[in-house]
Structures are given as C-alpha cells and as structure tokens.
Amino acid sequence: MNYTHAYALLLMFIVCTSCGQDQTNIPTDNIESEIKDIGPNIMVRTIKRGKNGTILMAGPNNSEFGDVFRYDPSRAGEKSFTNLTSKIGQHRFWDVLEDRRGNRWFTSTDSGIYYDNGKSIQHFTTTEGLANNRVTSVYEDKAGIIWFGTESGISRYDPRGVVGKSFRNFTSPNAPLFFKEGRWNNDIHTIIEDKTGKLWVGTRGDAFVYDGEKFTTLTHKGEPFLDVWAIMEDRKGTIWLSGYNGFKVGRTGGLYRYDGSTFTKVSERGAYAIIQDKKGNIWTTGPVNPANWTVQALSRYDAKSLYSTKPTVTEIRSGKTFLGLLEANDGSIWFGDATGVYRYDGKTITDFYKKEGQKKYSIDTKQSVVVWKGSMLLGGWEDTTFLGDGTHTGDVHIAKGELAIESDRRSDRHLVGGVVEVDMNTIENFVDQRSLNKFPPFFDIKKFPISTFSITKVETWNDGNSKVPTDGSIRVNDGNINVTGNLTIEGITKAVTFPAKLHFKDGMDGTVELNGTLIIDRTDWGIDYGSKKNVNQSVDGVFSDEVKLFVKLVAKKINR
C-alpha cells in the first residue's frame, strides 16, 4: 500500500496553525477499573450491534492477520466471547456486519469478503465482481442493499441478485479537488445512509454524497473534507463528521456538524468513530489534536451543549489509540483500542483481557514437528553431471512440551520460556530405508531416546528491545525473535540460539505458533561419524557436520 498521502498530510499538519485545544472537563465521579480475563486482545477497529443484543468486533490481531468476535451478554464467563472467523483462516479482517436477515459479512484487506449465512461460507473477490480485494467497510441501507468500501471505490451488492452479477462498482465517482490524481477518492473509509436516502462517503481523499444519481463533493469554505474516517447522523438529522478542511487558511482537522446548509466546526478533536447515545450525548474516539495522533481519547460531548459555540467535552479515557465505538442495548459504551475491547457503564471501565501475568501453553504434538536435514560434505559427479550431495531429511515427533507467555502490558505480550521433548525413536519411521543404508544415522536413539530443548531467553530482532510501539500496536512481540536455550542430545547439553517467527493465531490467547530454524554442529554433541574432524575413522564418504533442525511448534493456552 502506498502511504504517500499520509506523509503529505503529516507535512501539512506540521506547518498548519493550531486553533487551540478544547478545555477538557474531568468527570466528577471516580472511574474504577475492572479486569476480566475472557476477551479478545486484538486491535478492535470496528464495533457493531448484532442480533439479540450481541456485539460484533473486528480488527487486525497483529501486523499480518485479524479476527472477528461476537460478545453475547446472555452468556456468562469465558464463553461470552466467540471467534467467528477461526474456521475461515488467517486474514486481515477489518469490518463486520450482521444484516437484517441474520447473515454475517466479514471484510478483509487481503482477501475480499466472506459471507456466512449460518450454513455455509461464500467468498467474494474481484473474480465475483468486487472492485478491490482490500475492503475496509461494509454497510446495509434501508432497502437491504449491502455497500462495501474498497481501495478502488464503492461496490454495491444486491443480495437478491445472481452471484457474479450482483456487484455494481463506482470508481472515481467524483472529480478530485485536492489530490488531483484521484486515487485517494477511491480509497473508501466509511459509508452511511441519511434519513433522506443519501449516502455519505468518507475517503482518503475527498468526502462526498451520493443521491442515487450524482456525486457531490463535500466542501467547507471552498475546500473539500479530506481523510474522513467517521460520519454519523443524529436524531435531529444533523450530520457529524471528522476530517481535514481548510489547509489554505492554516487549519488542520477536527469534528464538524452539518445542519443541511452549513458546516460548523465543533471541536479541534478528531474522530475515528462517532455515535450518539440514548441520552443524546455524542461520543467519539480519536486524536485529541489531529495534528498529533499519538495522543487520543474517548470523549463525550454533553447533549445540552451540542449546538452551542463551545460544547462541553468530557474526556473519559486518554491513551495512544482509540478506535471502534458502540452503545450497547443496556446503555453501556463499548470502545476498542490497539489491544482489546472495553466497556464503560458510567462508573467502571471493564477491560476484557487480563493485562499482567504468565500463561502456560501446552504444545499440540499432532500439529508440531521437528524436521532434520543432513548432507554429504562433498557432492557426487558423473562426468560433468552433478549427482547431488546426498541431502536427506527426516521428521521427528514432539513427545510433549510447554511454552510460557508473559503479558506485563496489554501490548507487550511475549514468549519467556518453555521446554520441548523430542521422541528420537520416531526418526526411523520417516527415513527411507534404502537411503538409510547409504546415509548412516547420526543419533543413537536406543541409548538416548529423548532430546530436549529448554528456553532460557527470548529477544526480538531489534537487539531485544521490547518497547511498546508509539501507535499502541502489538507488532513488536508478535513477529521475529531470537530464541536461546539449552539443547540436550545424546546426553550432552549445549547452549544454542536460533531465529524464529512467533505468531499469536487466536486473539483470545488460544493458540501460539512458533516457526524456527536451528543449525547445529553435530560434533558438539559427540556425533562425529563421518566427520572430517575425525581423522582416525575409515568411512565411506565424509558427511557435513552441519545439521539443520526446522521447528514448528503449535501450542494452546492451558485453562487453569
């Protein structure tokens, strides 16, 4: 993805003149905190209402993948959260919708759309007519038409149509006013329908309105609104949106309202999401100052002062990242950040994921394996034809094992220890017997049936620096690591270090996958048959001292 636009906006923010910060009123009641170790620890970008009071939430789980969860308030305990996309596979899920017929739509930024009707799952991509496989928003209008915001414009889907013929795409719908290349107008952030049936669309470029026939760019003082992530219509029919407007006159971004004829700037605070609660208050998540996205907040605008020149704003919680936003049926406010979901009932903020502590993960021996690879030191030749180096591989079963995962901060989740036992007796089950006669075994499996590896230290590839990223994401510890530990083979223990990739597959802390490659010198463990170091041996050929061990460990959280 090209981020040139984001950098351009950043440069403009730096040179813009600030209009001043809002005066924030600290709540008079003391907000208590409560932690429950049952919920997702994903980046909750989107929160939407499902049927029967359920709550749906979606967002990337790490830098590569994402999940969609459902919260059912009628079910107590850990079963109240369900991962809805675990059977689909690993994708960058971004948004979710449960339509009026009870069907669920999951959008992703890497593989289009998934449609779940409760019986089967259909996959829609550009092959079926979708404008682009990067889809960041989904919306159902009053007629039951489903609208998708993609990187290449809007896709309109009529569920009553025929698959493959049901998509109608709108690309480059309005002439760009600011970014003349026009591609930013096609990168859709959000879509809503107002009471009159018009669609309001926020894009990375110019925001616009579609009345079913024509597209009209939204402007204020002659300039378009740019990079609009949030649009909402309140009960009075007033439109609220957050974006950037008026670069020529030295303004940045903020929150605006539209009464049908005029835009009024309400606040310097930006908004990633906007809702109105049952009491008429407006809630937002997003930057306190759009020129500096590193400071964000959950904010409430008092209903009695919404239309005054300076509405009363209460900052409920501040931090680095605040995203999805929803009022539940019971009146509580649910909001997401880079590492999970929270509920605010007016007094207590409930965090649905335990921040601190060490958790044990049991290695799934059926999904985990070690593959060894050895070879001759010299290659074989027949005239000028290379016959190979006698490379051979064999699988080895994991007997048992356990990993230790520690979370000392919500976004600082990392591997800290573990022990793996390998059943050396299983090597022969996977070695071709004809090759075995030519390639002597390196391991005395009868005398030493078990090899072990005990983790002593884990570091990230940035010199062990495990600081939380400034954007609040969890990319640092869900990625490339160096694993150090004690490897015991043939009764000899040596310290080794190898690179690995660590991935938290399930956002509810259910599954961890580690893939690594360990290269050892077998002679360090007394395995010197055929080694060039052993000059007293008479063997048929010299074998490489280097042995590669390819490791895949899949571990699941132990519920204790």
pLDDT tens-digit profile, the chain (560 residues) = 443 343 333 333 323 333 334 444 444 456 777 767 667 777 899 999 999 999 999 986 555 567 899 999 888 665 788 889 988 988 889 999 999 999 999 999 999 999 999 899 999 999 999 999 999 999 999 999 999 999 999 999 998 766 556 899 998 766 666 666 667 778 999 999 999 999 999 999 899 999 998 899 999 988 889 999 999 999 999 999 999 887 654 556 899 999 999 999 999 999 999 999 999 999 999 998 877 778 899 999 999 999 888 899 999 999 888 999 999 999 999 999 887 899 999 999 998 876 567 778 899 999 999 998 888 777 778 888 887 777 878 888 999 999 988 875 444 568 889 999 999 888 754 344 434 334 445 567 778 889 999 999 998 875 444 443 333 333 334 568 999 999 998 889 999 999 999 887 765 566 889 999 999 998 898 887 777 777 565 555 677 888 899 999 999 877 65
The domains spanning 4-16+40-274 and 358-557 adopt the same CATH topology? no
Give the 3-state DSSP-derived string for 69-92, with helices as H, strands as E and coil as C. Answer: EEECCCCCHHHHEEECCCCCCCEC
The amino acid that residue 131 corresponds to is A
Residue 120 class from Cβ within 10 Å (0-12 exposed, 13-18 middle, 19+ buried)? exposed
Q: Copy the structure tokens of residue 197.
A: 């049936």
Describe the strand order of the beta sheet including 282-289 as a list of residue ranges.
Answer: 24-25, 313-319, 292-301, 282-289, 273-276
C-alpha–C-alpha distance, residues 85 and 116, integer Å: 10
Strand order in the sheet with 153-157: 135-140, 146-150, 153-157, 167-170
For domain 4-16+40-274, give the CATH number. Answer: 2.130.10.10
Per-residue model confidence (pLDDT) at position 535: 57
pLDDT confidence of residue 555 = 92
For 199-352, where are the E strands, in sequence order?
A: 199-203, 208-210, 215-217, 219-220, 223-224, 226-233, 239-244, 253-258, 263-267, 273-276, 282-289, 292-301, 313-319, 325-327, 333-337, 340-344, 348-351
Burial of 296 (0-12, 13-18, 19+ CB in 10 A): buried
d(Cα 82, Cα 499) in Å, to the nearest integer?
Answer: 33
CA distance 285 to 125: 31
- In the chain, % helix, strand, coil (3-state, to 5) comes to 10, 50, 45
Query: What does the block give as tokens for 76?
Result: 């107590």
SS3 annotation, 490-507: CCEEEEEEEEEEEEECCC
Task: Return the HEC string of 511-553.
Answer: EEEEEEEEEEEHHHHCCCCCCCCCCCCCCCCCECCEEEEEEEE
Buried b or exposed e, range 327-356, using 16+ CB within 10 angstroms = bbeeebbbbbbbbbbbbbeeeebbbbbbbe
Sheet containing strand 55-60, strands side by side: 46-49, 55-60, 66-71, 81-83
Burial class (CB in 10 A: 0-12, 13-18, 19+), 182: middle
Beta carbons of 470 and 294 less than 8 angstroms apart: yes
Q: What is the pLDDT of residue 62?
A: 52
Residue in the block written with tokens 């929270």: 342
358-557: CATH number: 2.40.128.110
Q: Where are the domains of the chain?
A: 4-16+40-274, 358-557
Q: Is residue 448 within 8 Å of 442, Cβ to Cβ?
A: no
Report strand pairing: 24-25 vs 239-244. Answer: unpaired
Beta strands in 410-479 (DSSP E): 412-423, 450-460
Entry pTM: 0.70
pLDDT at 26: 43
Backbone angles phi and psi of 104, in degrees to 5:
-110, 140
> Would you call 206 exposed, middle or buried from its count of C-beta atoms within 10 A (0-12, 13-18, 19+)?
buried
